Structure 1
Amino acid sequence: MLDKSKLHWKKIKKMPRTLISSVKNSLSLWHAKGWQKLYFLKNWLFSFRSKYAGKLGFVHVVGLMMVTANFVPALQVQLEPHFDQPERLASFKALFLSLGGAMIGATAIAFSLIMFAMQVNVERMPHGLFRKFSSDIRLLGAFIATFSLAVIIPGFSLIPDKSWVAGATVVTIWCMSLIILLFILAYRRALALISPTMQLKLVVADTKRDFEILDKAVRRMRPILRANASIDKENEDIMGKYDMDRLTYFQLYPNWAVSAEQAISYCITYSRRHAEQGDHEVSRVALHGIVAINAFYIKTKGKTFFPSNPFIDNPLASDSFLTNTLEHLRQNVQVGVSRKDEQFIEQNLHSLLKLTELYLSIEYGEEYDPRSHAHLVSGYLTGAVESVVPHDMADVLLEGVSILGSAARLIVVHDKPEYIASISEKIALIACTGTVNKNYQPVSQVAVKQLAMLTFELLRSKSWEVRYAVKEVRDDVKLIADMYLKIPDSPLTSVHSSSLAPYYSGTSNDTLMAWLSELVNALSMADADDENAQRVVHHLEEWADGLYQTEKEVLLQAIEKRSQLTFDLIHWVVHTTKLLLAVSCSDVCDDYHRDKLRKSASWLISVLSWIPDDEGTIKYIETYRIADNIFESAVDAHKRGCDIEALEIRSLLLSWTRKVGKYQTGWSSLETACCGLACLNLILELPNEKLFTDIDTYISKDDAPNFDIRSRAASDLHEEADKFRSGYGRSNIDMAMVHADQSRLSILLHGVAERLCPETNDAGIVED
């Protein structure tokens, strides 16, 4: 009881501290929420002011004018007694005259200085824009309004009598106030007009307004165009696919886009000139303006685009506006390359990527028409990135490869996947430059990552046919691997492994293996009637078909070169086999795809059977614990109910036992493989005689291990059979031995040891 009372007393003593801590936390939370609301209000006010400041200011001024107009009678009552004498009224008129003259002079001087400063600053721009901005309507309107207000003031020197005093005073005060306000507004407008970014925004805004006017004109002319058109059944079908009225209008007025073409040329001029001066902020705004103008053009043109056809020459398929835009950007890249202006080149590459996305949104007559204009942009983009290769600009090339990958993924999402083959090939060729130029090795890693991301995007594609595209990407990855495996690998930096890590490595969450694992987990939880999941399963089957061929060739090359990439390849093969079997066991996988996936998984894991069996190769490859990896695949297949595949993988492990058992590798290879076979016998619930027969057949072969190897392995197996095992193992086989039925395992291990070397007894001693 005493102990309980002490504990209760301690709890009571701790309560104030807990209460204080809780109050502090609550106050801190409310303090943070208060600041959050304050920042939200501040941002809202800033946004509201930026949108409606001019309108609110105008309403405020008009309201003040109306208020002051109501006070004029009262002010007249107060001022009129002070002007009973004619001399005072004459002095008051003279004041109006002098103030008016001063305001007129000030207006002339101020606007002369403003216009001169503005024209000096804008004289470097194209001639058309110089005339446009030097005769700005708002600026000239402010001058006219200011001059008119200044003229009103001396006009009050003509008031006939003192009854006009209050009105003249109020109007004069308002005129002077408005003159000062107009001075400020005119000054700010002049600053805006001499700003290159503001000039570009005005050019884009004017182009948008021109397109809107044109769009309204087309809609107004539509009844006339339809009345004059001859419509038959064939034309009716075409009109259902295309906007023929709009197309007819554009043919009647072929120069409808001249102002937009002029705006594009202005933006190009700004981008080149300011990039040369090092002002890349202006060049960025100019290139964004080009993209925006193209967006307005595409929206205005509507459904009047025709795809190109390699068999039929259609003059309507070509679009000079889009082609000229791309040609300007190509020349920009060449200018940037000649100047070694890396930032300018990257800006143009990003603009080409945005145009790719924009041109993919073009509406054609048929939903499945190829996005030929987007393909044209991708051709310009790949050519632009390729032109950077000879000039040793690794950072630009790295960014360019990333942009190519993004363009390819956009095409996969919005178009037919097979059109990414040329981009994928170009990425692979650029990646291969890292084999001859060490500065480009980071580019190779980024290129491989783009191909890995492209593979993953193809697997999630909405298209039902990705076989060709995914095979091309797989061949491109193999090309990179082949090229890198031809150069020496560095034992410290592991060039082969690091360059191909985004595709083959399993040690990061940002690789193809990790993405595939997440995708397979999602498929395992999908409903059986989920169409999207069924499509992904179909894509995985297409990707896995023939996968073993490329991986076998790359693995054999890696083993031959003693590359550290061998480790990644072995684990990639094992893990991908497990993923394919997992997909085949999901509810969303039908019988056809289940059989195809399991067959592909069996062929893929069988790649390990192609490892050469010469002594040097076996000793090298044993460092990667092949037997343990094969055992892991067999156990995983059994857990998923793929018993046929599990038995095939067991046969693979038996084949590996025959290969590795011939040599003394220093890794206890033969006994490890035999332990794995014994555990598989228990896991797959096979009879003991099955394993014993396999061992007898193995020993009877001409290439069976010699007596020394067999006796040492038998001795170790007898020792393993009698060993007491704890709950820890260094490998999958060790852990399986820990959890296996120890009595049955002991019988199997003793039996295998006796067949390997009958001369060795249960104590591990060789008998004479």
Structure 2
Amino acid sequence: MIDKAVVRWEKIKRKSITIKIKAKEMFLLWYAKGWQYIYFLKNRLFNVSSNYGGRLGLIFLAALIVASAIFVPALKGYFEPYFSESGRFNSIRALFLTLGGALIGATAIAFSLIMFAMQVNVERMPHGLFRKFSSDVKLLGAFVLTFSLAAIIAGLSLIPDGSWVAGATVATLWCSLLIMLLFVLAYRRALALISPTMQLGLVVADTKRNFKTWDRAVKRLVPIFRANSNSEKENEEIRNKYDMDRVAYFKLHPRWTESGEQAIYYCITFSRRYAEQGDHEVSRAALNGVVAINALYIKAKGKTFFSNNYIVNNPLASDSFLINTLEHLRQNVQVGVSRKDEQFIEQNLQGLLQLTRLYLSIEYGDSHAIKSHAQLVSGYLASAVESIIPHDMPDVLIEGVSLLGSAARLIVEYDRPEYIATISEKIAFIACAGAVNQNYQPVSQVAVKQLAILTFELLRSKSRQVRYAIKEVRDDVKLIAEMYLKIPDKPLISIHSSSLAPYYSGTSNDSLMSSLTDLTNAILNAEPGDELAQRVIRHLVEWAEELYQTEKELLLLAIEKRSHLTFDLIHWIVHVTKLLLAVSCADVCDDHFRDKLRRSAHWLIYVLSWIPDNEETIKYVETFRIADNIFESAVDAHKRGCEAEALEIRKLLLSWTRKVGKYETGWASLEKACCGLACLNLILNLPDDKLFTDIDTFLSKEGAPDFDTRLRAASDLHEQADKYRPGYGHGDIDMAMARVDQSRLSVLLHGVANHLCPEIDSVEST
């Protein structure tokens, strides 16, 4: 009984604890929801007050005035008997007169101080802005209204009898309250006008109103232009592409952009002045104003932009407004360079990138027109970044290279990919500076990263042709690698590998190899009729066509310089070979592209066959486990059903066995290669005699391993044949040897050893 009671008590106790926990969780949940609701209401009220606060306040104030006017007759019954005596009536009239005169004097003094303080703060502005802000309509209007209200209070002293006192008192109270309110509003308006960011906002707002005025004027004249048109058919065809009425109107009024150009000048002046003072927040706002004014200009101009034609010169293609803007920004960069103002330079470079994005949105009459204005601003951006190289500003260059990469990606997305060739070349040129100046080595790494991202974006591009662009980017990466390979590498921290890691590294999650792997997996999961995946496959085919040539030259140069980049190149070649074969096996890949991808993969992996055949080179390269890498490629090809490619890669492994077997590398290279060939025989289901025949053929040719090398390798192979394998190893070949049929492998290894050195039995017996 006691045990049952204890058990029951424990259950009740646990149940009560559970209830308490649930109640606490419920309370915390409702507490959190309550605060979220409060935050929601707070944000909603803030948005309403920001957008409609002034209007709502004015309506509320007007309602109060009307309500007080309604109650005047009721107050009249209390005020009129009291002020019926002449002495009291004269006192209230004197009060009105004194109060009105005092408020008139206060108004004059207050507004004199406000205007003086404001003019002192804006006196260093451009002349046009000084006149505008020092004669602000709202501020002067507040002064006039305040003075008028004070005069009204003074004028109330002229009321004829006591029946007017109630209304005059209410009017005096409201006038006094409104005067105080206008003082506060005038003070805040003066502070706003003193604020440079507010001034910039007013400049942009005025420009917007001016461009809207011109836009309305054009629309009002369109019927007149249409009525005076002669050849309706011809004009209608042109109007479908361009807004010719707007073109004609702007030709008749060439100074319609004058206010916009003046506003650009004001913004540029603000940016330079405040950057010099160290107030980069204002300079950033000024440059954002430049971008905003350009956006307003493009919207106002509409479909009147013409692109450059390389065959026929089109005078309408040149746009002075846009060119003047770019010239101002170019001069800003030079000013920043002369001052060593890195933040100001970066802000102007970012402004050029924003203009690149903006100019890419320009509507041209022809859908296939060249976006020449976007190319122009990207050229300005590239030249500006390049001009920073001699001034030892690595941080600015890093930002500039990143912005160039962003500009190139925008062009790939919204324009023709071939137009990124110039930007890619500039990025490579800047990256090469790291091979000369050690301080610029981080810049090189960022530049290579941008080229890697650009390569990936080209593979995903919506364009149908990326062959030229992707070849240019690949050549630029090659140029950077060649420049770095000309300088000595460091043994512990490889400059070559670290600088080119974003493109060739296999250990980084944000490298090109990682991105290509994710892209390959997406293609493998695509449906057979997926047009997007088919377009990506087409781009992969174009990218891989001459890939082997570039990688061969770089690999041979890296081996010659004994660079640690050799390791990255070998693994990159092997991994990309696997990716190309994987894509060729995707359901969405058609037969034409499948053959091309497999041929490119075959050529790429055979780059390893170009490794020079000399002892010093073989000893160096063998430290990177070439046999394991080739074996891995062959096994992967077999797993994906690429049997012909697997056999070709097996030939490559046999060729490497013949090449490496001649030398004593210290890594048991001949033995390891023979083990790999034996495993491949079992994995590919080849007859044993084929391997034995290949061994005999390889030994019969010139340059075969000498007797001592063959004897040592054969002895090691006999030991490997009888060795117990726990299931793990130091490479792909060791792991494969643990997974295949051990009995068959033992027979095959013994046979290989006997064919490699038939004299081993007699040697061992002696």
Q: What TM-score results when the alignment is normalised by the length of structure 2? A: 0.98
Residue type matched to 2:765 in 1?
E
Q: Secondary structure at the match of 1:289?
A: helix
Equivalent position of 2:765 in the other structure? 767
Equivalent position of 1:666 in the other structure? 666
Q: Deviations over 1:619-645 (max 9, x none)?
A: 111111111111111011111111111
Instruction: State the Cα distance separating 1:748 from its structure 2 match.
Output: 0.8
Q: What does 1:165-244 correspond to in 2, within 5 Å? A: 165-244=165-244
Change (3 A) 1:147 1:512: same
In the aligned structure 1, how far is the partner of 2:133 from the partner of 2:682? 88
Residue type matched to 2:356 in 1?
T
Instruction: State the Cα distance separating 1:456 from its structure 2 match.
Output: 0.6
In the aligned structure 1, how far is the partner of 2:349 from the partner of 2:634? 49
Q: Secondary structure at the match of 1:255?
A: helix
Equivalent position of 1:429 in the other structure? 429
Equivalent position of 1:496 in the other structure? 496
In the aligned structure 2, how far is the partner of 1:652 from the partner of 1:22? 68
Instruction: State the Cα distance separating 1:10 from its structure 2 match.
Output: 7.3
> Given that residues 675 and 733 in structure 1 are in contact (C-alpha distance below 8 angstroms), is that contact kept between their aligned partners in structure 2?
yes
Residue type matched to 2:764 in 1?
V
> Given that residues 759 and 767 in structure 1 are in contact (C-alpha distance below 8 angstroms), is that contact kept between their aligned partners in structure 2?
no
Q: Deviations over 1:645-676 (max 9, x none)?
A: 10000000111111111112121111111111
Q: Secondary structure at the match of 2:256?
A: coil
1:756 aligns with 2:756: yes
Equivalent position of 1:577 in the other structure? 577
Equivalent position of 1:405 in the other structure? 405
Residue type matched to 2:410 in 1?
L
Equivalent position of 1:438 in the other structure? 438
Instruction: State the Cα distance separating 1:765 from its structure 2 match.
Output: 7.4
Equivalent position of 2:273 in the other structure? 273
Equivalent position of 1:312 in the other structure? 312
> Given that residues 558 and 566 in structure 1 are in contact (C-alpha distance below 8 angstroms), is that contact kept between their aligned partners in structure 2?
yes
In the aligned structure 2, how far is the partner of 1:479 from the partner of 1:313? 36
In the aligned structure 2, how far is the partner of 1:428 from the partner of 1:675? 44
Q: Deviations over 1:399-448 (max 9, x none)?
A: 00001111011001111100000110010000000011000000000000
Q: Deviations over 1:671-704 (max 9, x none)?
A: 1111111111111111111111001111212211
Equivalent position of 1:734 in the other structure? 734
Equivalent position of 2:620 in the other structure? 620
Q: Secondary structure at the match of 2:387?
A: helix
Q: Deviations over 1:219-275 (max 9, x none)?
A: 111111111122254333222110101111111111111100110011111111111
Equivalent position of 2:288 in the other structure? 288
1:415 aligns with 2:420: no
In the aligned structure 2, how far is the partner of 1:90 from the partner of 1:353? 73
1:99 aligns with 2:89: no
Q: Secondary structure at the match of 1:427?
A: helix
Instruction: State the Cα distance separating 1:521 from its structure 2 match.
Output: 0.7
In the aligned structure 2, how far is the partner of 1:664 from the partner of 1:578? 30
1:371 aligns with 2:380: no
In the aligned structure 2, how far is the partner of 1:533 from the partner of 1:204? 45
Change (3 A) 1:631 1:306: same
Bigger CA drift: 126-135 or 172-181?
Answer: 126-135
Equivalent position of 2:592 in the other structure? 592
Equivalent position of 2:58 in the other structure? 58
Residue type matched to 1:203 in 2?
V
In the aligned structure 1, how far is the partner of 2:692 from the partner of 2:23? 74
In the aligned structure 2, how far is the partner of 1:640 from the partner of 1:18? 55
Q: Secondary structure at the match of 2:36?
A: helix
In the aligned structure 1, how far is the partner of 2:22 from the partner of 2:713? 67
Equivalent position of 2:744 in the other structure? 744
In the aligned structure 2, how far is the partner of 1:467 from the partner of 1:24? 64
> Given that residues 715 and 765 in structure 1 are in contact (C-alpha distance below 8 angstroms), is that contact kept between their aligned partners in structure 2?
no
Count of aligned pairs between the two proteins? 765
Equivalent position of 1:544 in the other structure? 544
Instruction: State the Cα distance separating 1:78 from its structure 2 match.
Output: 1.8
Q: Secondary structure at the match of 2:764?
A: coil
In the aligned structure 1, how far is the partner of 2:662 from the partner of 2:31? 75
Q: What does 1:298-377 correspond to in 2, within 5 Å? A: 298-377=298-377
> Given that residues 559 and 566 in structure 1 are in contact (C-alpha distance below 8 angstroms), is that contact kept between their aligned partners in structure 2?
yes
Change (3 A) 1:561 1:115: same
In the aligned structure 1, how far is the partner of 2:590 from the partner of 2:269? 59
Q: Secondary structure at the match of 2:172?
A: helix
Instruction: State the Cα distance separating 1:40 from its structure 2 match.
Output: 2.8
Instruction: State the Cα distance separating 1:707 from its structure 2 match.
Output: 1.7
Equivalent position of 1:654 in the other structure? 654
In the aligned structure 1, how far is the partner of 2:190 from the partner of 2:353? 35
Q: Deviations over 1:701-734 (max 9, x none)?
A: 2211112221121111111111222232322112
In the aligned structure 2, how far is the partner of 1:126 from the partner of 1:32? 53
> Given that residues 434 and 441 in structure 1 are in contact (C-alpha distance below 8 angstroms), is that contact kept between their aligned partners in structure 2?
yes
Residue type matched to 1:54 in 2?
G
In the aligned structure 2, how far is the partner of 1:312 from the partner of 1:115? 58
In the aligned structure 1, how far is the partner of 2:9 from the partner of 2:763? 71
Residue type matched to 2:363 in 1?
E
In the aligned structure 2, how far is the partner of 1:7 from the partner of 1:752? 74
In the aligned structure 1, how far is the partner of 2:40 from the partner of 2:673? 66
In the aligned structure 2, how far is the partner of 1:294 from the partner of 1:421? 26
Q: What does 1:500-539 correspond to in 2, within 5 Å? A: 500-539=500-539
Q: Secondary structure at the match of 1:487?
A: coil
Residue type matched to 1:218 in 2?
V
In the aligned structure 2, how far is the partner of 1:471 from the partner of 1:243? 39
In the aligned structure 2, how far is the partner of 1:728 from the partner of 1:23? 54
> Given that residues 711 and 766 in structure 1 are in contact (C-alpha distance below 8 angstroms), is that contact kept between their aligned partners in structure 2?
no
Instruction: State the Cα distance separating 1:276 from its structure 2 match.
Output: 0.8
Q: What does 1:102-113 correspond to in 2, within 5 Å? A: 102-113=102-113
Instruction: State the Cα distance separating 1:59 from its structure 2 match.
Output: 1.0
Instruction: State the Cα distance separating 1:767 from its structure 2 match.
Output: 3.3
Change (3 A) 1:656 1:31: farther
Q: Secondary structure at the match of 1:766?
A: helix
Instruction: State the Cα distance separating 1:41 from its structure 2 match.
Output: 2.5
Q: Deviations over 1:375-420 (max 9, x none)?
A: 1101111110011000001110110000111101100111110000
Q: Secondary structure at the match of 1:241?
A: coil
For structure 1, the 5+ residue unaligned runs are: none
For structure 2, the 5+ residue unaligned runs are: none
Equivalent position of 1:143 in the other structure? 143
Q: Secondary structure at the match of 1:703?
A: coil
Equivalent position of 1:449 in the other structure? 449
In the aligned structure 1, how far is the partner of 2:527 from the partner of 2:669? 44
Change (3 A) 1:689 1:365: same
> Given that residues 584 and 593 in structure 1 are in contact (C-alpha distance below 8 angstroms), is that contact kept between their aligned partners in structure 2?
yes
Residue type matched to 1:559 in 2?
I
In the aligned structure 1, how far is the partner of 2:575 from the partner of 2:409? 25
Instruction: State the Cα distance separating 1:3 from its structure 2 match.
Output: 13
Change (3 A) 1:530 1:759: same
Q: What TM-score results when the alignment is normalised by the length of structure 1? A: 0.97
Residue type matched to 1:685 in 2?
N
RMSD: 1.8
In the aligned structure 1, how far is the partner of 2:592 from the partner of 2:119? 75
Q: Secondary structure at the match of 1:428?
A: helix
In the aligned structure 2, how far is the partner of 1:571 from the partner of 1:335? 47
Residue type matched to 1:462 in 2?
K
Q: Secondary structure at the match of 2:222?
A: helix
Q: Secondary structure at the match of 1:595?
A: helix
Q: What does 1:113-132 correspond to in 2, within 5 Å? A: 113-132=113-132
Equivalent position of 1:711 in the other structure? 711
Q: Secondary structure at the match of 1:634?
A: helix
In the aligned structure 1, how far is the partner of 2:22 from the partner of 2:427? 58
